[in-house]
Structure 1
Amino acid sequence: MSTTEPCYTDKLEVSVDTPFGVHSEGVVTTGLISGVPCALVARHGQKHDIMPSNVNYRAMLYALKKVGCSHVIATTACGSLREQLKPGHVVLIDDFIDRTSKRKATLYDGTTSDETKGVLHLPMDNIFNQRLRGLLGETCEELGFEYHQGGTMVTIEGPRFSTKAESRMFRLWGADLVNMSTVPEVVIANELGLLYCSVAMVTDYDCWRENEAPPSVGDILNTFKSNAHKAIELIKAVVPKIAAADWAEEKESLKQKVKDNII
């Protein structure tokens, strides 16, 4: 599973070769959370010095799959496009709008081996695993976190923030949140058969509100850091639940979905 670093034991850095090159750090950190084997990668690198367009999402997720991951819990900082989604809240998103243009968005592009041969027209229904979202929501409830079940994330290319006109347009489109990392991450995870869910941490109100200064990097980082404990507590509490459940049906369904849509 991939997230901000929770309380790990038995940590070990593993170098993983992939057909898609080297991911952000070149290694995957494996370890245990409540006795459950897990893996961690920082998509932007430990120093957060890799801009969103340059993250090698394909290599990162392939590496997680190769070390044995079956689920991905991804944390992401985001701006809110809705008054009720307040800074500090957790949103378990269930849909996205893609505004990226410079990223390799599929494994099936004809550049690798027979493993990803053909063209995959992957359906986007239930791209965020519903059962995993439900489990995360249940755990948020138990922990007393302000959270929202469902929401649409618009992923922009970055690294710049949205203009005021773009922010207002996204609201008219029905988007609830904006970030720079959900796409193509969730798509590639599904192509690999990884059950994916995103824990969106609201840090600001983007720039659509009138008579309010636009968010700065400093403000966003301060809000994220002050709420990072929520992501850590959530991961620590939900991992044993995931490990105790039988996910065979969900895994097989996703595997078949991929297989059925390759030409």
Structure 2
Amino acid sequence: VGVAFLPRHGRGHRVSPSELNARANIDALKRFGVTDVLAVSSVGSLVEARPPGSFTVVDQFIDRTKGRPSSFFGTGLVAHVSMADPVCPRLSRYAADAARDAGAQVDDRGTYLAMEGPQFSTRAESRLYRQWGCDVIGMTAMPEAKLAREAELPYALVGMVTDYDCWREEEAGVDVAQVVAQLGANAAKARAMVMGLLRALPAEREPSPIDICLDSAIITAPSARDPALVAKLDAVAGRALRNAAG
């Protein structure tokens, strides 16, 4: 199985979560021939039973980001993909099994609160997100997961817990030093998880309904489509657009 690795924040962590060009990242993966995306992110835990060092295989999101471009589509080519089930269950199962084999405490499901950042939460926000039923909180998964779906890329996200955010009144709020220290402890398990997942994948890729999700999402009539936008989305939506034109 071939692998492409894309560090979201660049070498040396130079790009903040609010400034990530998620559209360019997903477009690049698609152009490179990637068929499935396993995302790994640091997260804060909003649940006592998900301690630092544990992994959560996310299955739902609440998007609280602000102003980040969240779609490849727009005026001249409109599409509405379903995000009811935002991750690929097949890829998520492989990730959960591989994480367990790597020695991590794993929760197979969890709701991810995507915050804008780059500042960490206030205590009031952290308590509110717990009341909403969120399990982990992070800054990078949105609009990444939405864009992966628009690009017909099955997507799974493993959240590596680094801290308890700031909902625990008896503790100081999270800081960068705490996050970085736990990141180092999580790194070996994350590498082992990825290697284990690659070994477990079948030699022949299993098809997914996500592979053809744009067939039922693009609503703009072929005659009304903006040729410039159609050309720009040749990698992201080329399969669906060619089928519609043919």
Range into which the TM-score falls when normalised by the shorter chain: 0.7 to 0.9
Residue 130 of structure 2 corresponds to residue 171 of structure 1: yes
Separation in 1, partners of 2:82, 2:21: 22
Separation in 1, partners of 2:20, 2:202: 29
Alpha-carbon offset, residue 255 of structure 1: 3.6
| Matched residue, 1:200 | 159
Pick from 15, 18, 33 the counterpart of residue 68 of structure 1. Answer: 33
Pick from 65, 71, 80 the counterpart of residue 100 of structure 1. Answer: 65
Alpha-carbon offset, residue 245 of structure 1: 4.6
Separation in 1, partners of 2:25, 2:13: 15
Write out per-residue CA displacement over residues 94-128 of structure 1, whole angstroms, 9 at most, x where no aligned residue: 00000001200000024xxxxxx522211112211
Pick from 149, 153, 159 the counterpart of residue 108 of structure 2. Answer: 149
Q: Secondary structure at the match of 1:150?
A: coil
Q: Normalising by structure 1, what TM-score?
A: 0.80
Alpha-carbon offset, residue 144 of structure 1: 2.9
Matches within 5 A, 1:15-26: none
Matches within 5 A, 1:26-175: 36-110=1-75, 118-175=77-134
Give the gaps of 5 or more residues in structure 1.
1-35, 111-116
Write out per-residue CA displacement over residues 182-226 of structure 1, whole angstroms, 9 at most, x where no aligned residue: 100011011111111111000000000011011110110110111
Separation in 1, partners of 2:190, 2:101: 14
Separation in 2, partners of 1:233, 1:208: 31
Q: More strand per residue: 1 or 2?
A: 1
Q: Normalising by structure 2, what TM-score?
A: 0.86
Write out per-residue CA displacement over residues 34-67 of structure 1, whole angstroms, 9 at most, x where no aligned residue: xx32111111111111111111000111101111
Point out which structure has higher relative CO (alpha carbons under 8 A, 6+ apart): 2
Give the gaps of 5 or more residues in structure 2.
220-246
Separation in 2, partners of 1:203, 1:148: 15
Separation in 1, partners of 2:188, 2:13: 19
Pick from 193, 214, 218 the counterpart of residue 258 of structure 1. Answer: 214
| Matched residue, 1:220 | 179
Larger radius of gyration: 2
| Matched residue, 2:142 | 183
Q: Secondary structure at the match of 1:38?
A: coil
Residue 101 of structure 2 contacts residue 196 of structure 2 at CA under 8 Å; is this kept in 1?
no
Separation in 2, partners of 1:240, 1:65: 22
Separation in 1, partners of 2:211, 2:185: 38
Amino acid at match of 1:43: R
| Matched residue, 1:26 | none
| Matched residue, 1:241 | 200
Separation in 2, partners of 1:178, 1:125: 19
Q: How many correspondences in the alignment?
A: 219
Separation in 2, partners of 1:185, 1:148: 21
- Cα-Cα RMSD: 1.3
